[in-house]
Amino acid sequence: MTEARRLAGHALVETLIAQGIDTCFGVPGESFLAVLDGFHEHRERIRFIACRQEGGAAFMAEAQGKLSGRPGICFVTRGPGASNASIGLHTAFQDSTPMVLFIGQVAADVRDREAFQEVDYAQAFGPGTLGFAKWVGEVQQAERLPEYVARAFHTAMQGRPGPVVLALPEDMLTTLTAAPVLPRVEPVQAWPAPGALRDLRAMLLAAERPFVIVGGGGWDGAACAALQRFAENWCLPVGCAFRFQDLFDNRHPQYAGDVGIGINPKLAARIHDADLVLAIGARLGEMTTGGYTLLEAPRPRQKLAHVHAGAEELGRVYAADLLLQSSMACAAKALEALAAPPSLPWEVHTAAARADYEANLMPSPLAPSLSALDMAIVVQTLQRVLVESGAGNAVLTNGAGNFSGWLHRHYRYPGLQHDGRTQLAPTSGAMGYGLPAAIAAALLQPDRTVVGLCGDGDFLMTGQELATATACGAKLIVIVVDNGVFGTIRMHQEREYPGRVSGSTLANPDFALLARAYGWASERVAVTAAFEPALRAALARGESTLLHLKLTPEVSTSRTTLSAIREAARARTEGG
């Protein structure tokens, strides 16, 4: 069916609506005015959320991709706008999140002259296993715009999910076109080979100390439920890869903990001593493998079976004993059907792994003597109060920094919910992610409670997006943990150069007052006992609230202090 002639910018908006997109994020620019006019034309069916900086907009789109399983959409202008958005693009790549970044481009008659803000995006964001995007395209002809968008959606969702970049020349967007609106794109699902499943069953039957690590993109609620049934059938201990803790119910008796930064030492030892590791969906990156030590590269001590949706990922780092290429939805269903024997030799092993996890939930005895604010108790209180208030499926977000270690260690995520993930966090280690991701979640799923946990340095990288939440009427809770330092960097400084501090001290504003300037409610929390009433008041309010938590920098992580790190480093130096 031939459509009526309209601006290509309008046709693009119609195409997004046909793909099920009802919200796009971005910062407006003169390079895509025709698209902005298309949003106005179709404002009853789709909205454009104007953000305050392109990095925040790209983080919001990445969070949208995590929540929906379909590409998050971001629009930015050429040159500076695209450069600012690259942090969200990189996060989507490393996190295996479907996303499409649309970038305005200079008109064809001034191309290749280094025109105003001109960039060659294929060169800047070129695809590759260590790049920013799975594919970079530029739409030269308005008639081919629907084709390019369909390809972008297919590429973003199929195999290992990830981001795609489409450049939109300004003159192309203002061209009249009768290009058709194509049908909704659905990703092709790949099933594991039956022979490989038989081999995997044989490996399980021969094992004595197996361990499962689950992670990566492409999961939905049904796939996670099937994975849980597989683990139950085989009584397997399960750990979640770095910042994918919500893929398996943390309350389940077979959940053994998160396999990432600050890993429980007993869990690390258990993986190290396993005779079979089954990695499902996880790409086994540096953070999940403890710097490639839990699983030694390129040939692990343990037998390794690796299930992944991307052919390019299988065998890229590890010479596994068994490789299975499969979409997660298909892999989980196939694994669930693997027949288990009536008894298994590792049942005690699985129970011990769970006992280690539960023991690790206990707060450190050091904290109360060092600080009036105990972050372990804060996180456990957050969990309890959310459950008591009926918000057990709340969305929790965080950026990067040592503050996130308390959340990862002490918060127990439910399995993936029917309405999307409950943990939004950057495996790329991108600071500034927590606030924009929380705002996106609050806008996209207003019926869910959303809590963003941010460090002080982390928060101020995207803090201006408080204005976006205010403008759009989003309701959420943001907790800023303020210790006056770049905590992770200070920790590494003390470990490598004890007592020689440089560049890691922060001069912070009063975050509670800053939030009020943006129209938010706020409260300052300096002692542990004050957190629960402040949280309950925030949940009861009909407006966004920021809780400003003051923490001493001496409490470096959920396990140790700066003084202990410094003393250990000096002892190591003197001993060497």
Residue of 455, 467, 406, 466 whose CA lies nearest to 431: 455
Task: Tell me: do 259 and 343 sit in the same domain.
Answer: yes
pLDDT band at 367 (very low <50, low <70, confident <90, very high): low
Backbone angles phi, psi at 570, to 5 degrees: -65, -40
Residue 182 lies in a domain: no
pLDDT at res. 572: 86
pLDDT at res. 128: 62
Tens of pLDDT, residue by residue over 488-520, are 999 999 999 999 999 999 999 999 999 999 999
What tokens appear for 488 in the block? 């992770």
Domain CATH code at residue 321 = 3.40.50.1220
pLDDT at res. 492: 92
Would you report the helix, strand and coil content of the chain in percent, each value rounded to 5?
40, 15, 40
User: In angstroms, rounded to a whole number, what is the distance separating the alpha carbons of residues 352 and 354?
Assistant: 5
Handedness of CA 397, 401, 407, 409 (dihedral sign): positive
Residue matched to tokens 């094992």 = 207
pLDDT at res. 109: 87
pLDDT at res. 81: 96
CA distances (Å), origin 473, targets 241, 520, 546, 549:
34, 11, 15, 24
CA of residue 123 relative to chain centroid, distance = 26
Tens of pLDDT, residue by residue over 347-366, are 999 999 999 999 999 987 76
User: In angstroms, rounded to a whole number, what is the distance separating the alpha carbons of residues 89 and 91?
Assistant: 5
User: In angstroms, rounded to a whole number, what is the distance separating the alpha carbons of residues 343 and 350?
Assistant: 13
Residue matched to tokens 């061209």 = 175
pLDDT at res. 255: 98
Residue pair 253/231 in contact by the 8 Å Cβ criterion: no
User: In angstroms, rounded to a whole number, what is the distance separating the alpha carbons of residues 361 and 353?
Assistant: 13
Q: Would you call 259 helix, strand, or coil by DSSP?
A: strand
Residue 187 lies in a domain: no
pLDDT at res. 9: 98
Q: Is the pLDDT assigned to residue 182 strictly greater than 70?
A: yes
Tens of pLDDT, residue by residue over 371-414, are 899 999 999 999 999 999 999 999 999 999 999 999 999 999 99
| DSSP type of residue 528 | G
Task: Tell me: do 373 and 294 sit in the same domain.
Answer: no
Task: Tell me: do 419 and 519 sit in the same domain.
Answer: yes
Residue of 76, 17, 62, 25 whose CA lies nearest to 42: 17
Task: Tell me: do 253 and 114 sit in the same domain.
Answer: no
Residue of 211, 157, 166 whose CA lies nearest to 187: 157
- Average the pLDDT over 296-325 and give the result: 96
- Asked which of 52-56, 121-125, 189-193, 440-444 is least confident by mean pLDDT, the reply is 121-125
Residue matched to tokens 């939109």 = 168
Could you tell me the end-to-end alpha-carbon distance of the chain, in angstroms, rounded to an integer?
77
pLDDT at res. 368: 65
Average pLDDT, the chain: 95
CA distances (Å), origin 75, targets 81, 83, 332, 424:
9, 12, 35, 21
pTM for this entry: 0.96
**Strand order from edge to edge, sheet including 135-138:** 47-50, 23-26, 72-76, 99-105, 163-169, 135-138
User: In angstroms, rounded to a whole number, what is the distance separating the alpha carbons of residues 527 and 530?
Assistant: 6
Domain CATH code at residue 34 = 3.40.50.970
User: In angstroms, rounded to a whole number, what is the distance separating the alpha carbons of residues 396 and 245?
Assistant: 11
Task: Tell me: do 47 and 173 sit in the same domain.
Answer: yes
Pairing of strands 238-241, 255-259: parallel
Of the three residues 324, 343, 359, the one that is the final residue of a domain is 359
Residue 22 lies in a domain: yes
User: In angstroms, rounded to a whole number, what is the distance separating the alpha carbons of residues 30 and 449?
Assistant: 36
Task: Tell me: do 338 and 434 sit in the same domain.
Answer: no
Task: Tell me: do 527 and 546 sit in the same domain.
Answer: yes
Task: Tell me: do 217 and 147 sit in the same domain.
Answer: no
| Percent of all residues in the chain with a pLDDT value above 70, rounded to a whole number | 98
Tens of pLDDT, residue by residue over 208-227, are 999 999 999 999 999 999 99
Residue ranges making up the domain that contains 244: 194-359
Task: Tell me: do 354 and 405 sit in the same domain.
Answer: no
pLDDT at res. 251: 96
Residue 188 lies in a domain: no
Q: Print the SS3 string covering 170-221.
A: HHHHCCEECCCCCCCCCCCCCCCCHHHHHHHHHHHHHCCCEEEEECCCCCCH
Peptide bond into 161 cis (omega under 30): no
| Percent of all residues in the chain with a pLDDT value above 90, rounded to a whole number | 88
Of the three residues 359, 380, 395, the one that is the final residue of a domain is 359
β-bridge partners, 423: 396
Pairing of strands 6-7, 176-177: antiparallel
Task: Tell me: do 424 and 383 sit in the same domain.
Answer: yes
Task: Tell me: do 232 and 305 sit in the same domain.
Answer: yes
Q: What is the DSSP string of 458-504?
A: HHTTTGGGHHHHHHHT---EEEEEE-SB-HHHHHHHHHHSTT---S-
Residue 44 lies in a domain: yes
Helix axes 54-68, 434-444, angle to 10 degrees: 50
User: In angstroms, rounded to a whole number, what is the distance separating the alpha carbons of residues 291 and 397?
Assistant: 24
- Average the pLDDT over 33-41 and give the result: 98
pLDDT at res. 418: 72
Q: Is the pLDDT assigned to residue 419 strictly greater than 60?
A: yes
User: In angstroms, rounded to a whole number, what is the distance separating the alpha carbons of residues 397 and 458?
Assistant: 12
Residue matched to tokens 């590792």 = 346
Q: Is the pLDDT assigned to residue 62 strictly greater than 90?
A: yes
pLDDT band at 131 (very low <50, low <70, confident <90, very high): confident
pLDDT at res. 2: 60
Of the three residues 324, 359, 394, the one that is the final residue of a domain is 359
Residue 43 lies in a domain: yes
pLDDT at res. 559: 87
Q: Is the pLDDT assigned to residue 113 strictly greater than 90?
A: no
Residue pair 319/276 in contact by the 8 Å Cβ criterion: no
Find the Cα–Cα–Cα–Cα dihedral 548, 553, 558, 561, rounded to 10°: -160
Q: Is the pLDDT assigned to residue 576 strictly greater than 70?
A: no
pLDDT at res. 112: 85
Residue 231 lies in a domain: yes
Residue 185 lies in a domain: no
The number of folded domains in the chain is 3
Task: Tell me: do 10 and 148 sit in the same domain.
Answer: yes
